[in-house]
Structure 1
Amino acid sequence: MRIKAVQAWWVRVPIEAARQHRSDFGQVKTFDAAILRIETNDGLVGWGEGKNAAGSAGSYGALVHMLNHEVGPQLIGRDPADIAIIWEMLYNGSRHEMAAREGHAMPQIARRGMSVAAISAVDIALWDILGKSLGQPVWRLIGGRKTDRLPAYASGGWADADGIGEQLRSYIDRGGFRAVKMRVGAMDGAPQVSAGRVRAAREALGPEIDIMVDAHGTYTVADARRFVHMVADQNLAWFEEPVIADDKAGMAEVRASGAVPIAAGESEATRYAFRDLAVAKAADVFQPDPAFCGGISEALRIGTIASAFNLRFAPHLWAGAPCFFAGLHVCAAAPASFIVEYSLGANPMIHDLVEETVEARDGMVAIPEKPGLGFTVSEKFLEAHAQRC
């Protein structure tokens, strides 16, 4: 079995005005991703996804060009089952043979960001192919699954103090969730505004529902610390990305300033960044995004680091179907996983890109049973929304 063809598209799906929301990313009018198709010489097809924007909207022309014209040609003729070897080849670039011989990484200079986003897309697609070639779901190939369903939290929460309780309650009523996440931070202005929204949410939901908050890295250390103290009595499940991901020392300072667990990692790429988070004692929950951190392979390694440091693992899954399904398989096999993200904003890249129904029931999401990642791409939908790059 050899790789025969590699094709990536910038898929941009408009979101109808009634379902749009506004956050620190502005008015979100589209859902964008780089979707990758890898085909083997015996007709098997694997699907992957790469991301270079933390929000659901972004520009993907450069990443798609990289996949089609730089990464793709390196894959033609290779055995798609050589997943780890291909990962290291793409990561180390022109020095990959020396790195393999010497037994340590020698990455290319542009080793993070878009380079790893491209590797992520390839890695996810290769695992999909391997599972299909063996007639097995990916979770069985990476260690098995600890459960057939995982708890999920409803991810959304942009309404103001007057409406946040009703908005979050609608999530609970819709999918039976026992945990919800709301956005805070720069979108609100001063920390006390966010704190007021949190208090309104808690009053509306009562003490039994877990509430997570996500600042998207928009606070300064000082404001994040102020916010932690303002919500100290609200029993938050976690405070996500309080400050910019590049400021790990600042994040550690926020973590040390109060009792609210800190979650981080959607903006981090590779195991090395998560090692630094762990050593700095900057986070309690690791949140790698499979479409950005390095794919399924690297997410598994990051999960191992979380377990080794007695931390927890909850990947960032505000994404398209290939990333979301990849996250489900990883969580099924990862000892440190405990909950998955289920987006309640408009997400056509999950619900319309694939033919399967993706849903939460009683606050739980089922782990796929089909071979590979377990979904079927709607080629008609893909063709309708693929952009020319």
Structure 2
Amino acid sequence: MRIKTVQAWWVQIPIEESRQHVSDFGRLRTFDAAILRIETEDGVVGWGEGKNAAGSAGQYAALVHLLNHEFGPRLIGRDASQITAIWEDLYNGSRASAAAARGHALPELARRGLTVAAISAIDIALWDIRGKALDQPVWALLGGRSAPRLPAYASGGWADSAGIGAQLQSYVEAGGFRAVKMRVGSMDDRPQVSAQRVRAARKALGPDVELMVDAHGTYTVAEAKRFAALVEDCDLAWFEEPVTADDHRGLAEFRAATMIPIATGESECSRFDFASLISHRAADILQPDPAFCGGITEAMRIAALASSFNLRLAPHLWAGAPCFFAGLHVLAAAPSGYIVEFSLGANPMIHSLSRVPVTVQDGMIAVPDAPGLGLDMDTDVIARYARQ
């Protein structure tokens, strides 16, 4: 189980023009991610993913360099089964031995952002290797799964008030979804424009389909309160990232002022950030992104926090195939697991990288049974779309 090679690529898959959408991130013309391959001396291959942006809204050269030239060489020769020890070593850096001896974190200064994104990619790949080596799916190694299929919600919703109802209704019909999410916030310029779109969506969907909204953290606290008041009779299942992730106190202020459950966490790194959200009483649903929060290891720690404080876990899975499959295993194994995010925007990073179709039927998605992540990676797609 010694690690032999570590290789990462900036994979950039184009999105056909007819399927591109525009949000506060701009027009998404490609889907990008840092895709990682780790191979052991006995030939077991694990796949991981690290991210620092949504779709094509960011650059990945620095993250790939970090994986290939800084973290990667430190992994060569290490026992791939020592997943937690490797996580802590990479997080604590030169003080890793001191941290282990003292039983508490002594992290490097650059412990957030790209550092945790790189750790995320490595951690997901190591869990994939561990499962394959033991001929077990990751969820079995995490303690078992709650069910063979998990509820999923359709994530999309950028159309204007005239078209949003039909757009979301098409999601319901496509996979039998009983829950859908639409985007609001600065993309609409004013809260009342977003509110008009939400009201049109609820009218089209009727009362039996759960409706979530996502502002991508673009409202001020005052704007979020104004928007919430305008849609208070729309029975929203959650309001995602109403304000910037940098303002936990503001988020707590907003949560105290509304009856709408608050979902957040895709912009947070590590259990420490989620502990801050919880201590501020700022969230009802925690949304760690496995490719950004610290991988499967850290997502399970965050899941334990959610369970401890009677909160729900709904990972952010607008991502590539390794991150998406990792999220399925975490959700299946975590007692606080709630619902799967399933992209209904164009997402070739999931569908092109997985040789087996990733589908939702009757609003449910199957948890993989194959060893490791259960992902049959299409390496030809990586070779075709890896940036040089």
TM range (shorter): over 0.9
1:236 — aligned with what?
236
The amino acid that maps onto 1:251 is L
1:326 — aligned with what?
326
Q: Distance in 1 between matches of 2:380 and 2:114?
A: 28
Q: Distance in 2 between matches of 1:23 and 1:225?
A: 21
Deviations 1:263-308 (Å, cap 9, x if unpaired)? 0000000000000101100000000000000000000000000111
SS state of the match for residue 293, structure 1? coil
1:29 paired with 2:25, answer no
Offset at residue 102 of structure 1 (A): 1.2
1:120 — aligned with what?
120
Offset at residue 56 of structure 1 (A): 5.0
1:290 — aligned with what?
290
Offset at residue 55 of structure 1 (A): 4.3
Q: Distance in 2 between matches of 1:179 and 1:280?
A: 28
The amino acid that maps onto 1:262 is I
Deviations 1:114-137 (Å, cap 9, x if unpaired)? 000000000000000000000000
Deviations 1:171-230 (Å, cap 9, x if unpaired)? 001000000000000000110000000000000000000000000000001000111111
Most deviating of 55-64 and 357-366: 55-64
Q: Does the 8 Å CA contact 1:325/1:374 hold for their aligned counterparts?
A: yes
Q: Does the 8 Å CA contact 1:320/1:349 hold for their aligned counterparts?
A: yes
Offset at residue 338 of structure 1 (A): 1.4
2:368 — aligned with what?
368
SS state of the match for residue 111, structure 1? coil
The amino acid that maps onto 2:342 is Y
1:154 — aligned with what?
154
1:266 — aligned with what?
266
Q: Does the 8 Å CA contact 1:29/1:57 hold for their aligned counterparts?
A: no
The amino acid that maps onto 2:264 is A
| Unpaired runs of at least 5, structure 2 | none
1:140 paired with 2:135, answer no
The amino acid that maps onto 2:364 is M
- TM-score norm. by structure 1 comes to 0.99
| Unpaired runs of at least 5, structure 1 | none
Offset at residue 89 of structure 1 (A): 0.2
Q: Does the 8 Å CA contact 2:26/2:57 hold for their aligned counterparts?
A: no
Q: Does the 8 Å CA contact 1:56/1:318 hold for their aligned counterparts?
A: no
Offset at residue 76 of structure 1 (A): 0.1
The amino acid that maps onto 2:277 is L
The amino acid that maps onto 1:329 is H
Q: Does the 8 Å CA contact 2:8/2:34 hold for their aligned counterparts?
A: yes
Deviations 1:24-61 (Å, cap 9, x if unpaired)? 00000000000000000000000000001144542100
Q: Distance in 2 between matches of 1:272 and 1:375?
A: 30
Q: Distance in 1 between matches of 2:356 and 2:44?
A: 19
SS state of the match for residue 318, structure 2? coil
SS state of the match for residue 38, structure 1? strand
- TM-score norm. by structure 2 comes to 0.99
1:335 paired with 2:318, answer no
Q: Does the 8 Å CA contact 2:137/2:374 hold for their aligned counterparts?
A: yes
The amino acid that maps onto 1:263 is A
Q: Does the 8 Å CA contact 2:5/2:39 hold for their aligned counterparts?
A: yes
SS state of the match for residue 37, structure 2? strand
SS state of the match for residue 387, structure 1? coil
Offset at residue 379 of structure 1 (A): 1.1
1:76 paired with 2:63, answer no
SS state of the match for residue 236, structure 2? coil
Q: Does the 8 Å CA contact 1:157/1:168 hold for their aligned counterparts?
A: yes
Q: Distance in 2 between matches of 1:202 and 1:236?
A: 9
Q: Does the 8 Å CA contact 1:54/1:266 hold for their aligned counterparts?
A: no
Q: Does the 8 Å CA contact 1:9/1:35 hold for their aligned counterparts?
A: yes
SS state of the match for residue 177, structure 1? coil
Deviations 1:64-100 (Å, cap 9, x if unpaired)? 0000000000000000000000000000001101111
User: Would you say how many aligned residue pairs link Structure 1 and Structure 2?
Assistant: 388
Q: Does the 8 Å CA contact 2:29/2:56 hold for their aligned counterparts?
A: no
Offset at residue 101 of structure 1 (A): 1.1
Q: Distance in 2 between matches of 1:349 and 1:229?
A: 37
2:353 — aligned with what?
353
1:302 — aligned with what?
302
Most deviating of 47-56 and 80-89: 47-56
Q: Distance in 1 between matches of 2:323 and 2:56?
A: 12
1:17 — aligned with what?
17
SS state of the match for residue 213, structure 1? strand
Q: Distance in 1 between matches of 2:378 and 2:57?
A: 21
Q: CA RMSD in A?
A: 0.6
**Percent identity, aligned pairs only?**
68
Q: Which runs of 4+ in 1 moved over 4 A?
A: none
The amino acid that maps onto 1:23 is S
Q: Distance in 2 between matches of 1:253 and 1:154?
A: 29
SS state of the match for residue 275, structure 2? helix
The amino acid that maps onto 2:103 is G
1:189 — aligned with what?
189
2:85 — aligned with what?
85
Q: Does the 8 Å CA contact 1:9/1:64 hold for their aligned counterparts?
A: yes
The amino acid that maps onto 2:281 is K
